Amino acid sequence: MVWKNFPPDFYVRVDKELCINCMRCIKECSFGVHEYDRKKELWKRHHEKCVGCLRCAAMCPAKAINIEKSRMEYSPHPVWTNKVRKDIKMQAETGGVILTAMGNEVPYLSYFDHLVLDACQVTNPSIDPLREPMELRTFIGRKSERFDLEEDSGASLKTEIAPNLKLETPIMFAHMSYGSISIEAQLSMARAASKIGTFMGTGEGGMHKDLYQYADHIITQVASGRFAVHEEYLKRGAAIEIKIGQGAKPGIGGHLPGKKVTKEISETRMIPEGSDAISPAPHHDIYSIEDLSRLIYALKEATRYKKPVFVKIAAVHNVAPIAVGVIRAGADAVVLDGFRGGTGAAPQVHRDHHGIPLEVAIATVDRRLREEGIRHWGSIIASGGIRCSADVAKAIALGADAIYIGTGALVAMGCTVCKKCYTGKCPWGIATQIPELRKRLNPDEGAKRAANLLEAWSHELKEILGALGLNSIESLRGNRDRLRGVGLNEIDLEILGVKPAGW
Amino acid sequence: MLQEFKKIIREEEDFVIIDAKGIYYRELNELINELILNGSKKFRILNVNGQRFIADGLRGGYYIEIYGTAGDDLGGFANGPTIVIHGDIQDGAGNTMNEGKIIVHGSGTDIIGHSMRGGKIFVKGEVGYRVGIHMKEYKEQIPVIVVGATAGDFLGEYMAGGRIIILGLEKRPEVEDIVGDWIGTGIHGGAIYIRGVITKDKLGYSANIKEIDENDRKIIEKNVREFCSYFGLDADEILKSKFTKIAPISRNPFAAMYSDSRENK
Ligand code: SF4
Ligand code: SF4
């Protein structure tokens, strides 16, 4: 008895009258759903294998395919949902941990969807961004408390200025490693980042040589597996990010199975072909804030204090004191990854049940850093589940300096969030290393679409600022007075530092 | 900067001698860096007392002699230098090192050689916990750690490549433990050679005892000879001993942990 994915999630319906038997769907589906028996001249559709990516439907020249949510379900039960029953049956069969991808699927409350932005009316005029300059430029890194000038030198600066990243828009592409996504996907983001004047993250898979020419717009990553970490790699990027945790799987490490470590990936990660790439849960040299500080300064020393060093943590219960520790340890920015953050592969139990919402994390960290008088010591970069320019504006109003987008960027390049990245068979050529699939993403096209998304959001951000009567993104940062809560309780509002609508 | 520190620098033959007494690590390392930019290649640093990050991220075949106790992360991310320590080293020496040599006349503490990808570390004395953790290898780069005395628990944890040799000199490996428990927990590449006999109960998850072959013997001999050459010890005597080899049960010990609804494996 095979219970895997029974009943199927999707039903593949092909309109026989429209179908021209071109066989295109067979080629398009990387999960082997469509099959044609030439002898019997019969089509077979393996519904149970369909992941609902819609690739075949989109590419079918006759537009004959419709992918429907399967109507066959177990007898309804509000607690023992179909998903729960299917998961149990699969685990009973395999004895394995359930793997999945992309972000948290449990419908926890979205604070973003319960916050609204203010707008100017009558007494405080709004600004038209088409007529007046709007400043989205953002600097990420440590800011000086005061500036001292050299004595008798006119205007030369005595204060040492810490290195900062200059962003033309407060939106960056999140760290997604080469190995989890294709080089075409990374190239698309690298080109878009350099065109727009922002940055992308390498993830922990190293920097492929094709990316070197965009290195000025690339943030390298140092994760617990230390793959590719090498003095040249550290010196090559614009900044370095130490990855402590990830919102999609707080507290656990990562594992790229040996069969995915191809020649090119092995070269970029600097590990043998075919060997497992294991990133342990903690960094072996970090068991305390003091140890974290040691790694931060080891990286600063190795790059002669020329690169800002960020530290990424998953948003968890005590995120505020942890983030304060990170900044006090010497980080130039703390990256807060909320529990809706995406991933190429994570055990479902961690993805869905660990961590806290990003909105709460931003608000508490920003407040705590201010209370301790060290908000200027480091920037706050928010990531995990940011879907639109309104989310960006709200994150900044809650206290973030800039944000990272991961899933959003992939969707711009074609991803349909089918959640099968970990299989390495991404039907849109993104989360895959298979040459035939990779061809589906043309980096020129990908770069254009990723850049368009940033341009569109930036434009909307300017419009939002205009409506708020502000002319720079700086004036929105931590400006919670321009937010109101709708349908949130008193404690939520207090934690977010936001008034209810009507006040 | 060089002007500022003139008092503590002098030159002797082709060495630059630095008196590091009371100098903050950041200044010491900046000074070394400036001297390198100025063309210096060989350094003798005196009175080192815990200054961190010496030779961190250094690229090239520089030669550095240290007198005293080097602080944490000595030679971290280093790519080529040879560092000789007349004294002890602390946590994380050789952290993620790519190339180079660290030769220690004293002892070391924890996570020596963490994630190192290339180069060699020779410690005459003993070392602490989790030494050689997550060591790697890449193409012809195969890092090596040789320890003269003993090593603590979790030796070679998560090891993905490289070679570790523990000699336990001055101990009698037939009756005394020269390595702590949980050897090679999570090991998925490389090999650990321990003088004497190790029983299976000392091993961590995914580690196994393997037969020593001709190639292993060559590796042991070559590195033990190099080790002895630095510390004036008799290699032939040491090489008479029996060694135990510890290596991973497989290259992919963590496969088969996951289930997928659509793939029938
Ligand atoms: S998995 Fe995607 S390509 Fe395959 S049948 Fe389903 S929707 Fe079509
Ligand atoms: S990246 Fe590809 S595999 Fe992953 S969710 Fe998007 S379409 Fe599916």
Whole-complex ipTM: 0.93
What residues are paired with B128 via a beta bridge? none
Q: Supply the pLDDT for residue A293.
A: 97
Interface contact B114, partner A, CB < 8 A: yes
Ligand 1 contacts CB of residue A425 (under 6 A): no
**Given this model, what pLDDT does residue A130 score?**
87
**How close is the Cα of A26 to the center of ligand 2, in Å?**
19
Give the model's pLDDT for residue A178.
95
- Tell which CATH architecture fits domain A10-96: 2-Layer Sandwich (3.30)
- Which ligand approaches the C-alpha of residue A46 most closely? 1
Predicted local confidence at residue A254, as pLDDT? 84
Contacts of A301 in chain B (CB under 8 A): 26, 29, 52-53, 56-57, 76
pLDDT digits over B44-98, tens only? 999 999 999 999 999 999 999 999 999 999 999 999 999 999 999 999 999 999 9
Please name the residues between 184 and 203 in chain B that touch chain A, using a CB distance below 8 Å: 186, 188-189
**Cβ contacts (< 8 Å) between B159 and chain A: which residues?**
none
The CATH code for residues A138-150+169-500 is 3.20.20.70
Percent of chain A with pLDDT over 90: 88
SS3 A138: strand
User: Do A138-150+169-500 and A10-96 have the same topology in CATH?
Assistant: no
Å from CA of A19 to ligand 1 middle: 16
pLDDT at B1 exceeding the cut of 90: no
Question: Which pLDDT score, from 0 to 100, does residue B4 have?
Answer: 81
Q: List chain A domain ranges.
A: 10-96, 138-150+169-500
> From atom 8 of ligand 1, which residue's Cα is the shortest distance away?
A56
Strand A309-314 relative to strand A333-337: parallel, antiparallel, unpaired?
Answer: parallel
Cα–Cα distance measured from residue B101 to residue B121, given in angstroms and rounded to the nearest whole number: 6
Side-chain half-sphere exposure of B199, counting CA atoms within 13 A? 5
Contacts of A42 (CB under 8 A, 6+ apart): A36
Q: Does the beta carbon of A426 sit less than 6 angstroms from any atom of ligand 1?
A: no
Q: Name the helix (H) or strand (E) containing A88.
A: helix A82-94
Q: Do A276 and B255 touch (CB under 8 A)?
A: yes
Contacting residues for B242 by C-beta, under 8 A, at least 6 apart: B195, B196, B197
Does residue A426's CB lie within 6 angstroms of at least one atom of ligand 2?
yes
Q: For residue A54, which atom of ligand 1 is closest to its CA?
A: 7
Residue from the list A270, A272, A294 with its beta carbon closest to the beta carbon of B189: A272
Instruction: Give the CA distances from residue A442 to residues A203, A438, A446, in Å, rounded to whole numbers and listed in that order.
Output: 21, 8, 6
Q: Which pLDDT band, with edges at 50, 70 and 90, does B265 fall under?
A: very low
Which residues of chain A have a pLDDT value below 50?
Answer: none
The token pair at A251 is 């507290």
Q: In this predicted structure, what is the pLDDT of residue A269? A: 94
What pLDDT is attached to residue B261? 47
**Pocket flag, ligand 1, residue A29 (CB < 6 Å):** yes
A-facing residues of B in 82-101 (CB < 8 A) are 91-92, 95-96, 98
CB contact under 8 A, B52 and A272: no
B258 to A278: CB separation less than 8 angstroms, yes or no: no
Token pair listed for B12: 């002797």
CB of A416 within 6 A of ligand 2: the answer is yes
Token reading at B19:
């008196």
Q: Give tens-digit pLDDT for B131-142.
A: 999 999 999 999
Q: Which atom of ligand 1 is nearest to the CA of A55?
A: 3
Check residue B258 and give its pLDDT. Answer: 64
Domains, in order of start, for chain B? 107-264 (2.160.20.60)
Give the separation between CA A271 and CA B139, rounded to whole angstroms: 8
Q: Does A349 touch chain B (CB under 8 A)?
A: no
Give the Cα separation of B164 and B146 in Å (integer): 6
User: CA torsion sign, A218 to A221 to A226 to A230?
Assistant: positive
Determine which residue's CA is closest to atom 7 belonging to ligand 2. Answer: A415
Please name the residue whose Cα sits nearest to atom 4 of ligand 2. Answer: A421
> pTM value?
0.94
Residue B255, pLDDT above cutoff 80: no
